[in-house]
């Protein structure tokens, strides 16, 4: 009996260790490699059509057992990046809807990504947002200055570059920083939930999707409408981010939790308000000169 008990216990211990190992792989091994290391968590099989109310850990265990041999391709080959585009139209639609309408019980990563983060969504949502901001800013400028005789309409193409820089930095560097912070905290505190870099990029990319209709709404030159839409978009986008990262930090020191969560929220707010202030001038009825301190310089000849 004793001899049969010992291997049993030994097996259990190893299983738990493997379980942790499987989830912590992305955090423990990937330091010396590139920043992108989803290899251990990539499942070569497609999606498992499971129900939503499964325990995410159990589903991780099952998918890892079910997966075939995962070939790890070096990151300089084309095939390496092809695995991030292993996605279909209805998946993209579900992910966008899931990020625009966050539901309190559903964690975006577990429900929608299911260990298959993609780069298609983040990249094209960011690109669409860049052009939406540039075009809407242009239109709103034009509408604001419509009746004035001195105003010469110009399509301002510099703004596309600036918008692109701002949005792509937000969508790539903030996930990088957040991933680094989570890595650091994971080394100190045993967390069962950890996200790979690609998954964090994916969440951030999809969370920007709500801003596209908001930015189009900003064309209408009413301040109250703009502030309403900003607040709604911030709430939705922020809640997606907060609900996603809450399981990753909830076992941590309370101060660290507050610091990380507020950093996420503040950066989001900064991006939204900064875009609004820089690209969309406030409708001023009186002065033909540049509108107010924080906004961009218009083409109207100023009286200074």
Partner 1 sequence: MAAAEEASRPFAGLSEVSISEDIPVEGDISVPVGPSTRRDDELSTLDEPVRETILRDLRAVGNKFVHVLYPKRSTALLRDWDLWGPLLLCVTLALLLQGGAADSDDQGGPQFAEVFVIIWFGSIIITLNSKLLGGTISFFQSLCVLGYCILPLTAAMAVCRIVLVGGSGTVSFAVRLVVVTASFGWSTFASTAFLADSQPPDRKALVVYPVFLFYFVIGWMILTFSPSQ
Burial class from Cβ neighbours inside 10 Å (0-12, 13-18, 19+) for residue 244 reads: buried
For partner 1, give the closer residue by CB, 83 or 185. 83
- The alpha carbon of 261 is separated from its chain's Cα centroid by a whole number of angstroms, namely 14
For partner 1, give the closer residue by CB, 18 or 161. 161
User: Residue 135 CB, nearest distance to partner 1 (Å)?
Assistant: 6
- Spatial distance between the Cα atoms of 71 and 51, rounded to a whole number of angstroms: 28
For partner 1, give the closer residue by CB, 84 or 280. 84
Tokens of 93: 């639609």
For partner 1, give the closer residue by CB, 79 or 223. 79
In degrees, rounded to 5, the angle at the alpha carbon of residue 302 between the alpha carbons of residues 301 and 304 is 140
For partner 1, give the closer residue by CB, 138 or 186. 138
User: Residue 173 CB, nearest distance to partner 1 (Å)?
Assistant: 21
Q: Which stretch binds partner 1 (CB under 8 A): 49-57, 125-133, 234-242, 273-281?
A: 125-133
Place of tokens 């890595």: 183
Give the residue from 34, 20, 31 showing the smallest Cα distance to 194. Answer: 20
Exactly one of 18, 150, 154, 292 binds partner 1 (CB under 8 A); that residue is 154
User: Residue 152 CB, nearest distance to partner 1 (Å)?
Assistant: 6
For partner 1, give the closer residue by CB, 34 or 88. 88
User: Residue 8 CB, nearest distance to partner 1 (Å)?
Assistant: 46
The answer to whether residue 299 forms part of the interface with partner 1 (CB under 8 A) is yes
- What residues have CB less than 8 Å from 218, skipping those under 6 apart? 136, 140, 226, 229, 276, 280
For partner 1, give the closer residue by CB, 64 or 86. 86
Q: Which stretch binds partner 1 (CB under 8 A): 8-16, 124-132, 184-192, 242-250?
A: 124-132
Span 64-93, contacts to partner 1 by CB under 8 A: 78, 81-82, 84-85, 87-90, 92
CA distance from start to end of the chain: 94
Exactly one of 27, 63, 99, 138 binds partner 1 (CB under 8 A); that residue is 138
- Spatial distance between the Cα atoms of 120 and 115, rounded to a whole number of angstroms: 15
Q: Which stretch binds partner 1 (CB under 8 A): 100-108, 126-134, 229-237, 257-265?
A: 126-134
Spatial contact of 63 and 48, defined as CB atoms under 8 Å apart: yes
Give the residue from 161, 196, 242 showing the smallest Cα distance to 34. Answer: 196
For partner 1, give the closer residue by CB, 27 or 291. 291
The site for partner 1, by CB under 8 A, has a size of: 25
The answer to whether residue 224 forms part of the interface with partner 1 (CB under 8 A) is no
Q: Which stretch binds partner 1 (CB under 8 A): 12-20, 150-158, 255-263, 274-282?
A: 150-158
- What residues have CB less than 8 Å from 22, skipping those under 6 apart? 40, 41, 60, 61, 64
- What residues have CB less than 8 Å from 92, skipping those under 6 apart? 118, 120, 121
Spatial contact of 110 and 196, defined as CB atoms under 8 Å apart: no
DSSP 8-class letter at 74: P
Q: What are the residues binding partner 1 (CB under 8 A)? A: 78, 81-82, 84-85, 87-90, 92, 120, 124, 127-128, 131, 135, 138, 152-158, 299
């Amino acid at each position: 009996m004793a001899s049969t008990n010992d291997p049993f216990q030994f097996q259990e211990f190893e299983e738990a260790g493997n379980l942790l190992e499987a989830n912590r792989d992305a955090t423990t091994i990937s330091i010396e490699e590139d920043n992108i290391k989803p290899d251990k968590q990539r499942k070569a099989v497609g999606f498992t059509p499971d129900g939503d109310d499964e325990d995410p850990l159990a589903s991780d265990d099952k998918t890892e057992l079910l997966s075939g041999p995962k070939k790890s391709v070096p990151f300089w080959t084309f095939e390496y990046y092809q695995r991030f585009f292993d996605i279909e139209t209805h998946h993209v639609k579900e992910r966008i809807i899931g990020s625009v309408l966050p539901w309190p019980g559903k964690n975006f990563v577990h429900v929608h990504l299911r260990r298959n983060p993609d780069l298609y969504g983040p990249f094209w949502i960011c690109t669409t947002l860049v052009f939406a901001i540039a075009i809407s800013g242009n239109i709103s400028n034009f509408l604001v200055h419509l009746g004035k005789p001195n105003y010469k309409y110009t399509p301002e193409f510099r703004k596309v570059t600036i918008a692109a820089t701002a949005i792509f930095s937000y969508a790539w560097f903030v996930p990088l920083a957040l991933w680094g912070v989570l890595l650091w905290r994971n080394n100190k505190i045993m967390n069962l939930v950890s996200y790979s870099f690609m998954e964090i990029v994916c969440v951030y990319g999809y969370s920007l999707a709500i801003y596209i209709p908001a930015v189009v709404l900003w064309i209408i030159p009413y301040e109250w409408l703009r502030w309403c839409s900003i607040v709604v978009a911030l709430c939705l986008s922020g809640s997606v981010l907060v609900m996603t990262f809450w399981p990753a930090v909830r076992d941590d020191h309370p101060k660290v939790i507050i610091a990380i969560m507020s950093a996420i929220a503040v950066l989001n707010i900064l991006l939204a308000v900064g875009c609004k202030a820089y690209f969309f001038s406030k409708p001023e009825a009186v002065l033909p000169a540049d509108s107010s301190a924080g906004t961009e310089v218009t083409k109207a000849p100023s009286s200074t």
